[in-house]
Amino acid sequence: MTKITAGKLYDEEAIRSIFDCMIQFDKIKLANGLTVIVHTDQSTPFVAVNVCYNVGSKHEDPDKTGFAHLFEHLTFGGSLHVTDFDMAVQRAGGANNAFTSNDLTNYYITLPANNIETAMWLESDRMLGPKFSKKGLDVQKKVVIEEFRQRNLNKPYGDVWHILRDLAYKVHPYRWPTIGLVPEHIESATLKDVKDFFFHHYAPNNAVLVISGNITTSEAFKLAEKWFADIPYREIDPYTGKPEPRQESDREITVNRDVPIDTFYVAWHMGARNEKEFYILDLLSDILSNGSSSRFEVRLVKEQKLFTEADAYLSGENEPGLFIATGKASHGVDIHLAREKMLEEIMMTVETPITAYELEKVKNRVEADLLLNEIGYLEKAIQLASFEIMGDASEINRQGEKYRDITAADLLATAGKLFRKGNRNTLNYLSLQNPGK
């Protein structure tokens, strides 16, 4: 086994050979527009049936937010010919789940390969049509609203993304989180609203089906044709999200909440998921905060003891998203002083090139993470679907190369572009337990 260290490449050529092993897959498109991708993995007795729809919170009406997430809940209440998804999956020895993001909605079922037709039946019936009823809608509305309250209204720091997104975005639909802007949008949802949402977004021509695991390509394509080919093509609502204009002046907001620790969040606008800038800034965020030897951890947490937690990360959306830096101040440390010290540390990446050692270290870590994230048949299914929604599933095999090709000059130039004056959005999230700040 090749050893990947946090410092120097133990065997650079061996590591490169690992990441040059492509994820093999085959792809077809059915007559109704459904894209079908198959990845064979004979090392497992299981199979994943993953259906990803090109609809997320960014596709919602600004006056009816939270619908993509609400609809994810609704589809588990039954479809035209299925009364209980969970029971059917369990009887086949499998498990199922789903998630919604700003960009997409993803459903998956894993089960023994010889029971794959159960999953194909369930997902094709979900695509054909849910079992709409006022009772079912009322039940799921209550569930989602309670989730909204528990996770975003009543939880410490739960409204951070509502505030930060509203601060950073003025035009683009990323300005609201997946859960929605306010619970009232879900409370007012009607049966007609959810039916319209389904028929204008849930369609074979707006979806990607990935079958991954112990199955041959020919068998998988036959099953896809058998179970999905008869579902009719539907007209899809065009995506109308407007690009966010270039931000020209820094923005700042301060809120006071019943939380134990003063915290801040600073966000800068960055490029889209499929751009080179994304990969560069992913490495930069790791240099700043990933691991015990990162700059934030060594200089701000251990040496200066300004923070109990300090982090930098990307929001990760498909369209241009945000680079975020955040910190929880140590007891007795003024949050504004701590924030300025972090910003000074960040600005060093604009003024001084990253060392060869730091760059090599984070490349090793990222490549190792890529390998781990794509090692399982389900993980591969989800990733293949996500990249296909972005435009091309084969991009999954180019990630390692894109990270390897990044230079110290790339990091310096991109940091200068990102951390420019006028591109900063600051949320000071202060504790009511520390009055006078």
Q: Which of 179, 176, 189 is nearest to 152 (CA)?
A: 179
Q: Let me know: does 82 contact 122? Beta carbons within 8 Å.
A: yes
Sign of CA dihedral 419, 420, 425, 427: positive
Sequential pLDDT tens for the chain (437 residues):
222 333 333 344 444 444 456 899 999 999 999 999 999 999 999 999 999 999 999 999 999 999 999 999 998 888 889 988 899 999 999 999 999 999 999 999 999 999 999 999 999 999 999 888 999 999 999 999 999 999 999 899 999 999 999 999 999 999 999 999 999 999 999 999 999 999 999 999 999 999 999 999 999 999 999 999 999 999 999 999 999 999 999 999 999 999 999 999 999 999 999 999 999 999 999 999 998 999 999 999 999 999 999 999 999 999 999 999 999 999 999 999 999 999 999 999 999 999 999 999 999 988 888 877 667 999 999 999 999 999 999 999 999 999 999 999 999 999 999 999 999 999 999 998 765 44
Residue 374: predicted pLDDT: 66
pTM: predicted TM-score of the whole model, two decimal places: 0.92
Residue 19: predicted pLDDT: 46
Rounded distance between C-alpha atoms, residue 254 and residue 275, angstroms: 33
Beta bridge partner(s), residue 96:
109
Rounded distance between C-alpha atoms, residue 313 and residue 71, angstroms: 29
- Is residue 307 within a helix (H) or strand (E), and if so which, with residue range? strand 307-314
Q: List all residues 6 or more positions away from 87 whose beta carbon is below 8 Å from its beta carbon.
A: none
Sign of CA dihedral 129, 133, 134, 137: negative
Half-sphere exposure of residue 437, counting CA atoms within 13 Å on the CB side?
Answer: 21
Q: List all residues 6 or more positions away from 437 whose beta carbon is below 8 Å from its beta carbon.
A: 262, 334, 335, 430
Residue 72 — φ and ψ, nearest 5°?
Answer: -55, -45
Residue 434: predicted pLDDT: 67
> 142: left (phi > 0), else alpha (psi -120 to 50), else beta?
alpha
Q: Which of 256, 264, 365 is nearest to 311 (CA)?
A: 264
Q: Amino acid letter at 136?
A: G
Topology (CATH level 3) of domain 23-228 = Cytochrome Bc1 Complex; Chain A, domain 1 (3.30.830)
Domain positions in the chain are 23-228, 251-431
Rounded distance between C-alpha atoms, residue 166 and residue 244, angstroms: 12
Q: Which tokens is 62 given?
A: 């600004």
Residue 95 — φ and ψ, nearest 5°?
Answer: -140, 155
Beta bridge partner(s), residue 100:
105
Beta bridge partner(s), residue 217:
none
Q: Which CATH number fits domain 251-431: 3.30.830.10, 3.10.100.10, 3.20.20.80, 3.50.50.60?
A: 3.30.830.10
Strand-by-strand arrangement of the 105-112 sheet? 26-29, 35-40, 207-213, 46-53, 105-112, 95-100
Q: Which tokens is 27 given?
A: 């792809």
Q: List all residues 6 or more positions away from 84 whose beta carbon is below 8 Å from its beta carbon.
A: 78
For residue 184, give Cα distances in angstroms to 20, 67, 142, 175, 189: 50, 12, 11, 17, 9
DSSP-H helix ranges across 77-182? 85-91, 116-128, 134-148, 160-168
Helix (H, G, I), strand (E, B) or coil at 50: strand
Residue 1: predicted pLDDT: 28
Residue 7: predicted pLDDT: 33
Residue 21: predicted pLDDT: 60
Equal CATH topology for 23-228 and 251-431: yes
